[in-house]
């Protein structure tokens, strides 16, 4: 990242980033701009550098924070009305690690409320616009973060990926986006969506920046007992030689320009001596249905804590405690939050549990096994991120299933816990950004990042 | 399966939402579509397959059973509520 050469001051970098953020205000990227806090921190870093003190690997690097990461700077709302006014007294482990290295948060980014969505249209604060086409969606749920990096406002941004919420907006805006192996980065202090699939990750402009951020952010955290000791298992690492292409991946047909982008990367890989094999993964077509059972079930449980009593929004003039809960939740959640909570309570309710939740958990086993088998035949999978490029604003907001279908190729990784890296893959003839994803076995994150340089 | 208005009211109740009449029909149609979609799992043969509930490869991560200082103080946490009295969170009557 450009701070490393120290030819500019941290204050200059932060002021430039804030200036760009204001310039692009109509893209609705930020829910909060950290004007005073960021400049104060930048001055502190400049003073330390002037004194010859050692500073961190991200000293003075401006970054954008998805609004579901808790920190003491600004409200943490997860772009949801029900968290309005919540200023956290605690800081997420990931944020602590970045800031310990000197990174400076210049703003909190817009998202689908509680990360429920694939377009950043389901935000209490309105949609974020696509970086390259203002009539199209930013993707989601980490739409603001993807656009902040794509428009070069910041060097990097944080995201969360429960079913594609990093990889899909990265693809829609033409930047790198990594969903690490499940458990690589601590989830402590990040607003929970579905605890068995939630992953913390990043948006960057280069693979090297991604690797640096992973080196900084990974590791075991006593505050999140589902954290792995490292992000890369040297003992199991294989040199990538064989690339797998998934045969008949989809239950939706893939856009021809995305297919062409895939073919051209395959040809590039072949020309560099990589072997390419076709892999059959028939269970993947059930991943989306399994995902939209398992994740709403976990959502219903995780979101039961929002009751208006302890923090955030509280409905006014309620006659008793029950009405306080019901009105707060009725007014405080977006329609998509309500749909997911209700579907979750449906699939968990007596009489339906076996047919839905248990069935989906068994399907999950088949999906996990299918990836294990695939990685016996290849070292990495190369696949589309989505069936279609970024769609028009408003095109799918009234049809939840149509919106869900856009997640068909991202959700299987979350169910299996394997890492996925979105790489930029050119643009459509209309100038809409395209991306592809590299998928590897558990704890192969570093291999994916390294290998992505071969496909530029 | 068919989702009717009573089902929607019941699910809203389980979810602790006040649901205005105006939202019931739209939510009903949405949930009908979603449940229709996820029901395709019926086709998948899962006989003799064990369920998977988590994909974290480590088990039994132990820690010492000792009290550690918390990241936020009682005062900081109480400051987050809308109404506080005598170090207690105030809510409308329960019964």
Domains of chain B, by residue range, sit at: 5-43
Tokens of A54: 């050692």
Q: Are residues A279 and A409 in the same domain?
A: yes
**In terms of domains, do A160 and A270 share one?**
no
Does A101 map to a domain? yes
* CB pair distance less than 8 Å for B80 and A442: no
Helix (H, G, I), strand (E, B) or coil at A255: coil
Pairs across A and B, CB distance < 8 A? 172
Strands, E, within A99-175: which ranges?
A: 104-109, 156-161
pLDDT beneath 70, residues of chain A: 1-6, 236-237, 249-252
The answer to whether residues A35 and A177 belong to one domain is yes
Cβ–Cβ gap A346/B41 under 8 Å: no
10-residue mean pLDDT profile of chain B (95 residues): values are 91 95 93 97 96 89 85 94 94 89
Same-domain check for residues A198 and A68: yes
Do strands A380-384 and A275-280 pair parallel, antiparallel, or not at all (unpaired)? unpaired
CATH of residue A378: 3.90.1300.10
Examine the domain organization and report whether A389 and A438 are in the same domain.
yes
- Residue A232 to chain B, least CA–CA distance (Å): 14
- Nearest CA to CA, how far is B43 from chain A (Å)? 9
Both A202 and A62 in a single domain?
yes
In this structure, the answer to whether residues A87 and A150 fall within a common structural domain is yes
Instruction: Give chain A's domain count.
Output: 2
Q: Which residues of B touch A399 (CB under 8 A)?
A: 33
Q: Containing domain of residue A128, as a range? A: 2-217
> A226 in a domain, yes or no?
no
Q: Are residues A256 and A394 in the same domain?
A: yes
Asked whether residue A65 is domain-assigned, the answer is yes
A412 neighbors A251 (Cβ within 8 angstroms): no
| pLDDT per residue as tens digits for the range A254-298 | 999 999 999 999 999 999 999 999 999 999 999 999 999 999 999
Same domain, A269 and A140: no
Report the complex ipTM: 0.96
Contact flag B71-A349 (C-beta cutoff 8 Å): no
CA angle at A389 for the pair A296 and A145, rounded to the nearest 5°:
65
**What do you get for the CA distance between the two ends of chain B, in Å?**
37
At residue A2, the pLDDT reads 53
How far away is chain A from the Cα of B66, in angstroms, using its nearest Cα?
13
Q: Are residues A143 and A258 in the same domain?
A: no
In a domain, A330, yes or no: no
Query: Which of A165, A185, A217 lies at the terminal end of a domain, its last residue?
Result: A217
A280 & A211 share domain: no
Copy the structure tokens of residue A94. Answer: 């990931």
The answer for residues whose C-beta is within 8 angstroms of residue A376's C-beta and 6 or more apart is none
Chain A interface disruption, residue of B56, B62, B66, B81, most A CBs within 10 A: B56
pLDDT at A202: 98
pLDDT for res B1: 75
Note whether A61 and A1 are within 8 A (CB): yes
Q: Are residues A133 and A259 in the same domain?
A: no
Do A328 and A82 touch, CB atoms closer than 8 A?
Answer: yes
A183: left (phi over 0), alpha (psi -120 to 50) or beta: left
Residue-level pLDDT at A1:
67
Cα–Cα distances (Å) from A128 to A30, A142, A144, in that order, read: 9, 10, 6
Considering only CB atoms, which chain A residues are within 8 Å of B38? 289, 292-293, 343, 347, 356, 360
| Distance of residue B64 Cα from the nearest chain A Cα, in angstroms | 11
Q: Residue A182: closest CA among chain B residues belongs to which residue?
A: B56
**Tokens 């088990």 — which residue?**
B59
At residue A178, the pLDDT reads 98
| Cβ contact B27–A338 (<8 Å) | yes
Does the distance separating the beta carbons of B27 and A335 come in below 8 Å? Answer: yes
Task: Kindly give the residue spans of alpha helices, DSSP state H, lying in A314-425.
Answer: 321-332, 335-348, 359-377, 400-405, 411-416
What's the pLDDT tens digit per position in A361-415? 999 999 999 999 999 999 999 999 999 999 999 999 999 999 999 999 999 999 9
Instruction: Identify the domain boundary among A161, A182, A217.
Output: A217
Indicate yes or no: CB of A329 within 8 angstroms of CB of B15: yes
**Chain B residue with minimum CA distance to A418:** B55
Peptide bond into B55 cis (omega under 30): no
Q: In this complex, which of A226, A347, A401 lies closest to B33 when CB atoms are compared?
A: A401
| Residues in chain A, total | 456
The answer to whether residue B6 neighbours chain A at the CB level (below 8 Å) is no
């Amino acid at each position: 990242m450009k701070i490393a050469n120290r030819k500019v001051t941290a204050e200059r970098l932060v002021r430039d980033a804030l200036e760009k953020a204001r310039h692009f205000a109509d893209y609705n990227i930020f829910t909060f701009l950290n004007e005073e806090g960021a400049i104060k921190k930048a001055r502190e870093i400049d003073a330390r550098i002037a004194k010859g003190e050692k500073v961190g690997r991200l000293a003075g690097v401006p970054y954008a924070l998805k609004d579901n990461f808790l920190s003491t700077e600004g409200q943490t709302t997860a772009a949801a009305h029900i968290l309005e006014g919540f200023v956290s007294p605690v800081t997420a482990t990931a944020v602590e690690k970045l800031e310990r290295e000197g990174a400076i948060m210049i703003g909190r980014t817009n998202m689908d409320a509680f990360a429920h969505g694939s377009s950043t249209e389901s935000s209490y604060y309105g949609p974020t616009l696509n970086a390259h086409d203002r009539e199209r969606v930013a993707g989601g749920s980490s739409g603001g973060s993807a656009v902040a990096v794509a428009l070069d406002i910041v060097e990097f941004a944080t995201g969360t990926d429960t079913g594609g919420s990093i990889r899909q907006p990265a693809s829609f805006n033409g930047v790198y986006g990594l969903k690490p192996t499940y458990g690589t980065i601590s989830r402590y202090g990040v607003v929970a969506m579905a605890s068995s699939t939630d992953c913390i990750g990043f948006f960057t402009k280069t693979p090297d920046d991604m690797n640096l951020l992973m080196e900084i952010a990974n590791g075991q955290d006593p505050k999140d007992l589902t954290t792995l000791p490292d992000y890369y298992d040297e003992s199991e690492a294989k040199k990538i030689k064989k690339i797998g292409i998934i045969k008949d991946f989809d239950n939706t047909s893939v856009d021809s320009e995305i297919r062409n982008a895939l073919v051209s990367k395959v040809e590039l890989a072949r020309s560099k001596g990589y072997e390419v094999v076709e892999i059959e993964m028939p269970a993947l077509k059930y991943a989306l249905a399994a995902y939209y059972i398992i994740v709403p079930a976990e959502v219903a449980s995780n979101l039961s804590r929002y009751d208006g009593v302890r923090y955030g929004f509280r409905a006014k003039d309620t006659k008793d405690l029950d009405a306080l809960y019901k009105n707060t939740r009725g007014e405080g959640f977006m329609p998509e939050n309500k749909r997911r909570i209700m579907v979750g309570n449906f699939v968990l309710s007596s009489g339906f549990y076996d047919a839905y939740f248990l069935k989906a958990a068994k399907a999950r086993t088949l999906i996990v096994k299918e990836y294990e088998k695939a990685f016996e035949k290849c070292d990495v999978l190369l696949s589309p991120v989505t069936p279609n490029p970024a769609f028009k604003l408003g095109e799918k907001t009234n049809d939840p299933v149509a919106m869900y279908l856009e997640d068909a190729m991202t959700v299987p990784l979350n169910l299996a816990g394997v890492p996925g890296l979105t790489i930029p893959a050119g643009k459509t003839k209309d100038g809409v950004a395209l991306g592809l994803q590299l998928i590897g076995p558990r704890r192969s994150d570093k291999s994916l990042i390294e290998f992505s340089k071969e496909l530029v | 399966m068919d989702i009717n208005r009573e089902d929607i009211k019941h699910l809203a109740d389980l979810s602790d939402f006040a649901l205005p009449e105006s939202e019931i029909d739209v939510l009903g149609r949405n949930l009908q579509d979603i449940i229709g979609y996820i029901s395709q799992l019926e086709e998948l043969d899962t006989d003799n397959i064990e369920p998977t509930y988590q994909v974290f490869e480590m088990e039994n991560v132990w820690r010492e059973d000792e009290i550690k200082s918390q990241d936020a103080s009682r005062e900081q946490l109480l400051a987050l509520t809308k109404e506080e009295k005598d170090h207690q969170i105030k809510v409308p009557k329960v019964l």
